[in-house]
Chain A
């Protein structure tokens, strides 16, 4: 079944831009990224778009399709009626570079702030022992393909550029949770970091991030909420408070 679809694609750069109309052929089984590629090959050779694997594994082709943050390679055209206009715009939370490509450097800056995995002292390579049930909790977060759709949709930063300084965003809160739950990570201050440096308190668990995650990671329920509980546990447990006060001079 082949038909002509009406597409509106945002074209422009930092200076500004506008939606441009395209009429373009759609074939059975195609996804939005196929249509963007067809526009590129036949009507607009310089249309900028990121993509790599075209199988939902690399997280490159993030955009907003009819206002919803999505991977274009995993959005089938059959989601839309043949006479429906499909509007494709760049991720709103990040500055535009050109057309559908945005500057996502905020995410790489946040990634670099998180203290790295700390290998257990005295355990040689090859001697690591962990149970499957224990690694699975962190493995869920390591499924993340860094498409940054959760970062894009999170209302803490989506329309509040000034919050970016203090807030790391859902992707990096689950990175902290992943390290906190890693059975052999030698650090015990992951929750403190989430509170003091990542602004976990700014998240008010509306679960928008979980809704848009193409990997179906339960970002809020399995990552952010347990981390918030750890923060509460560590900050407000009287024994821990005493311990912290005594050891403070060491820091």
Chain B
């Protein structure tokens, strides 16, 4: 048997971003022993890149806000494809999760009366995002990192060993989940990046919190870690993914210089007054308000501008439409030949806000543009364009516990889980998602482990040895394919053929290309040895990226409509019949992805009644609408 470390835990959390850390805290507080595994150093997870804030209807800035308004905004943003139960739990629990962070030591920006300040964001009816300048994600990670340290300090006092109940394995990558013969989770197989040593974790519950898949696209705001590991691990363990066709292209990424193309420009620039203009100086977003949102957004620049100071009597400017709408609009302007010099559009805050206010509210944006593009955003407009930012699709989970479909002991939370955001995520709903469902998955996994008692699933040594052999394969071949080359080809394929605007023929072309890449990926070779070898790491990550890319492409080919983060040039309309259907991806025995349709459960009546009938009509089929009773005119809406 291959030489390796062994460790035993109750709960294994894969990923140390917001969802993973919150899950680890919940499982540890429920009395379980927990290991957190992260690909990077502790505290470097991609969550630090989140800028704008955490959406939670605390009502600190506008007291009209409530969970019901937040729920409505979330469903609208996702074009009603969301798991309504997840959207409900999320809207209800987000405020408590934010307030809890203050008890861990977080320091949010304040309102004049000393409460947590909240800012405007796309798709949110009221100022709702708790924030710290434009570095909210960093605050969230650091706060939970420090909470974990404080739990370790408690454990040190109690047991003499700070890592006795909660240990972080930094720079360790999981390559396969280990399952018992009956399919239940028994642990995970990993390697340490630093030394290349193999590690076998025995644990009856695994929480996937690995984030997204953006590294399969060329222009992306995502870091190298976003290789769809959790998605792929779940597939290989026998679970399912939903909504994989929905990929969010954030409307504002940097477009110049080329080396920073794709790096995120926070939506707060627009929330705080920034506007989008084309090469003719026109605020073009007024031309792109879709029918479903007509009447909810300002129709003139004057009204839009008044809204910033008097939101109760004016409608918000269309620059604050949900992200999918703004990204498509920018794409259309560029295609129509009205782009900025480097192929984007202008994002202008310089002419709209005083330099001191820009520096106060958007310090890291100022820094980023100054250092990387020689642009001073207090005096010049930025150039921006769409960038692959977030995947709505992910592991199919039980909304209340985070339990993954079909695999006992497997849980998922955060970006690698699916359903919460439907076809499009609203800005600010990601950080709150991490907290709400990280907490729930941690509690869910802990309860499952307790229910097992002594009967923990066991994995055979043969399964572990097979995982080790798979991990070592890239060293066996000499003169094979270069993993960096394959990765670049995959990125171009996904970017150009399954990107922001999709067509049947192009998606088919992408699938052919992915098949070829899968074949070539069987013959990768890497140079050097196992100690901190990025070429080897990429070779192993590629397997996941290819699998996840195939899911995106196959589901995108099947869904013959346009909705949220899935735009089909050949099927431009939104179709209520398609809204009822989820596309469920699983891994077939031959290594190919199988996609099946599943009907969405109808929305619970009390939640459906939170919407006006005229609005529901835009999304639901006549049969679905008929099943919802008319609102009782006597009963005044609470929100």
Which residues of A line the B interface, CB within 8 A? 13, 27-31, 34, 40-42, 44-60, 74, 76, 97-99, 101, 104, 108, 111-112, 115-117, 119, 125-126, 128-132, 135, 138-139, 142-146, 179, 182, 185
Contact = CB atoms under 8 A, between A and B. Distances in A.
A119 B95 CA distance: 18
A171 B162 CA distance: 22
Given A60-B44, A116-B146, A74 B95 contact: no
A192 to B, nearest CB: 17
B99 A126 contact: yes
Contacts of B96: 125-126
20 contacts: A13-B531, A27-B258, A29-B256, A40-B535, A41-B482, A45-B483, A45-B534, A47-B534, A52-B44, A52-B223, A53-B48, A55-B49, A55-B372, A57-B49, A60-B44, A104-B41, A112-B149, A117-B105, A135-B107, A182-B107
Given A29-B373, A101-B532, A145-B48, A57 B138 contact: yes
Given A31-B372, A112-B149, A116-B146, A46 B528 contact: yes
Contacts of A34: 259
A132 B107 CA distance: 10
B259 A29 contact: yes
B146 A117 contact: yes
Given A34-B259, A56-B371, A101-B532, A129 B40 contact: no
Contacts, number: 171
A125 B96 CA distance: 8
Interface string B40-67: 1111101011000000001000000000
Nearest to B525: A45
A117 B224 contact: no
Contacts of B40: 50, 52, 58, 60
Contacts of A144: 142
Given A27-B259, A126-B95, A53 B162 contact: no
A115 B194 contact: no
B113 interface: yes
B113 A51 contact: no
Contacts of B135: 57, 143
B263 A55 contact: yes
A112 B482 contact: no
Given A52-B40, A125-B96, A28 B150 contact: no
B591 to A, nearest CB: 26
A111 B146 CA distance: 9
Contact of B46 (A47, A52, A104): A52
B223 A54 contact: yes
B476 to A, nearest CB: 16
B110 A130 contact: yes
Given A28-B258, A45-B484, A50 B146 contact: no
Interface string B351-379: 00000000000001001100111000000
B238 to A, nearest CB: 31
B264 interface: yes
A139 B132 contact: yes
In this complex, which of A49, A117, A129 has the most chain B Cβ atoms within 10 angstroms of its Cβ?
Answer: A117
A31 B258 CA distance: 11
B506 interface: no
A49 B41 contact: no
B153 A112 contact: yes
Contacts of B105: 116-117, 119, 179, 182, 185
Interface in B223-244: 223-225
Given A28-B257, A57-B49, A59-B44, A48 B532 contact: yes
A29 to B, nearest CB: 2
Given A13-B531, A57-B48, 10 more contacts: A29-B259, A41-B485, A45-B533, A46-B528, A50-B41, A52-B46, A74-B372, A126-B58, A142-B132, A145-B48
A86 to B, nearest CB: 15
Contacts of A57: 48-49, 135, 138, 364
A46 B48 contact: no
B396 interface: no
B260 interface: yes
B400 interface: no
B109 interface: yes
B484 A142 contact: no
B245 interface: no
B371 to A, nearest CB: 5
Contacts of A143: 135, 138
Given A28-B257, A29-B259, A116-B150, A139 B46 contact: no
Nearest to B42: A108
Given A31-B372, A99-B532, A54 B263 contact: yes
A98 B533 CA distance: 9
A56 B102 CA distance: 26
B100 interface: yes
A111 B30 CA distance: 25
Interface in B468-490: 482-485, 488
Contact of A53 (B109, B223, B371): B223
B490 to A, nearest CB: 14
Given A60-B44, A112-B153, A55 B368 contact: yes
Contacts of B533: 45-46, 48
B415 interface: no
A116 to B, nearest CB: 3
A222 to B, nearest CB: 15
Contacts of A58: 40, 44, 48-49, 223
B100 A125 contact: yes
Contacts of A56: 367-368, 371
B139 A142 contact: yes
Given A30-B259, A111-B149, A45 B371 contact: no
Given A125-B100, A130-B114, A145-B138, A98 B531 contact: yes
Contacts of B42: 108
Interface in B497-534: 526-529, 531-534
Given A27-B258, A45-B484, A53-B223, A60 B99 contact: no
A98 B532 contact: yes
B103 interface: yes
Contact of B107 (A49, A125, A139): A139
